Amino acid sequence: MASIVNTITASPIRLSNFKASRIRTHRVLSPISHSFTRRRLTIRAAETDTNEGLLNLRPPDTAPAAGGSSFNQLLGIKGASQETNKWKIRLQLTKPVTWPPLVWGVVCGAAASGNFHWNLEDVAKSIICMIMSGPCLTGYTQTMNDFYDREIDAINEPYRPIPSGAISEQEVITQIWVLLLGGLSLAGVLDLWAGHDFPTLFYLALGGSLLSYIYSAPPLKLKQNGWIGNFALGASYIALPWWAGQALFGTLTPDIIVLTLLYSIAGLGIAIVNDFKSIEGDKALGLQSLPVAFGAETAKWICVGAIDITQISIAGYLLGAGKPYYALALLALIIPQVVFQFKYFLKDPVKYDVKYQASAQPFLILGLLVTALATSH
């Protein structure tokens, strides 16, 4: 349900000769205390012949947003064109490209329950759970993350809707509340539909939404710490939607909670992929992402190690549990991931981030389903 949370991606346009300035302290999200004026965040380039205080933020593969793709704009990914249509801008803020892992997590949870049936009622329940997890709560997470990242986006991606002034802060805040309340309402409906004595789905949605908030917003702002923030993001994409799907159709057991939290370490690795594109902006704002803390070379090996070692460990667990065929299937799905890691990510994590995720991530999510099916038998 991080699907319910939050949240995984955009890509930077960088500015050269940017003079770092002190960024104002983030204000707590509040429709009462927040100024509702539309404003455009601008950055002044330092006019100086020296390199003192300057950051070179131009990557080799970035093109101006004005020449970007309308399709990428709707997905909320790199190469997006600039839009004036307000509904397209609202959709871009929710980053639809991040919804599929959460939707898939619901599928895995339903499969792990061993109680999903291909009838109209169960299919309808699962679709509503997917809408709750993806468009509503992941959309809430992504929109809120953009709101609190508006200063860093002004450095890394000044064409994005909020720093460019394409949408007002009041409109963004309204969208955050609509998506949050919509997701929580759907969770309550699903609890009633499933006949739960305890509103499990509602509290999972509420907990995931709180995790999303403290991930993005001060004073905690978990994303400032590379380890804690990335694990929270990984758990949001793997554990929470799985829990939602399993709680909807069956019983969420302690062993599944532990297993999915361990699997979320692989999600931590996936989250690190998105940090490489923002290294200079993170440095400017003092965010300790792993590429900033350890350097890009070390961080990229931490990233692939977290993904591969976690899945190999899960395969070992399945083998020890007497499910060798599932273990072998999972190992077979790890091999192409490793190939694409060497082909794209380890070669250049900034240039090839989208290609790497598009080619390798499908094998990861298929491995999740293999694990879910194994636990249901």
Place of tokens 């939404």: 209
CATH architecture of 70-375: Orthogonal Bundle (1.10)
Q: Retrieve residue 315's tokens.
A: 């395969």
Cα-to-chain-centroid distance, residue 30? 23
Q: Is pLDDT at 321 greater than 60 in this prediction? A: yes
DSSP structure string for 67-79: GSBHHHHHHT-TT
Q: What is the dihedral of CA 60, 72, 5, 286, to 10 degrees?
A: 30
Residue 210 CA, chain-centre distance (Å), reads: 15
Q: What would the pLDDT profile of 193-247 be if each residue is shown by its tens digit?
A: 999 999 999 999 999 999 999 999 999 889 888 899 999 999 999 999 999 999 9
| Tokens linked to 217 | 């917003």
pLDDT (0 to 100) of residue 93: 94
The per-residue pLDDT for 309 is 97
Residue 258 burial class via C-beta count within 10 angstroms: exposed 0-12, middle 13-18, buried 19 and up: exposed
Residue 232: predicted pLDDT: 93
At residue 292, the pLDDT reads 92
Average pLDDT of the chain is 83
Q: What's the Rg (C-alpha) of the chain?
A: 21
Cis peptide leading into residue 219 (ω within 30°): yes
In the numeric block, the tokens 């395969």 are attached to 315
The neighbour count for residue 345, using CB atoms within 10 Å, is 25
pLDDT digits (tens, 9 = 90+) for 169-189: 999 999 999 999 999 999 999
Measured CA to CA, the distance from residue 268 to residue 304 in angstroms comes to 10
Lowest mean pLDDT among 22-31, 76-85, 165-174, 254-263: 22-31
Tell me the two tokens of residue 192. 């009633």
Q: Give 255-306 pLDDT, tens digit per residue.
A: 999 999 999 999 999 889 988 988 887 888 777 889 999 999 999 999 999 9
User: Which residues are CB-contacts of 164 (< 8 A; sequence separation ≥ 6)?
Assistant: 40, 41, 82, 158
Encode pLDDT of 104-161 as tens digits: 999 999 999 999 999 999 999 999 999 999 999 999 999 999 999 888 888 877 888 9
Over 90: is that where the pLDDT of 323 sits?
yes
Position 36 pLDDT exceeds 70 = no
DSSP state letter for 225: B
pTM of the model: 0.77
Contact assessment for residue 230 and residue 307, using Cβ atoms and an 8 Å cutoff: no
Distance CA 71, CA 182 (A): 26
Phi, psi of 364 (to 5 degrees): -65, -45
| Whether pLDDT at 310 is above 80 | yes
Average pLDDT score over residue span 342-359: 92
pLDDT of residue 35: 39
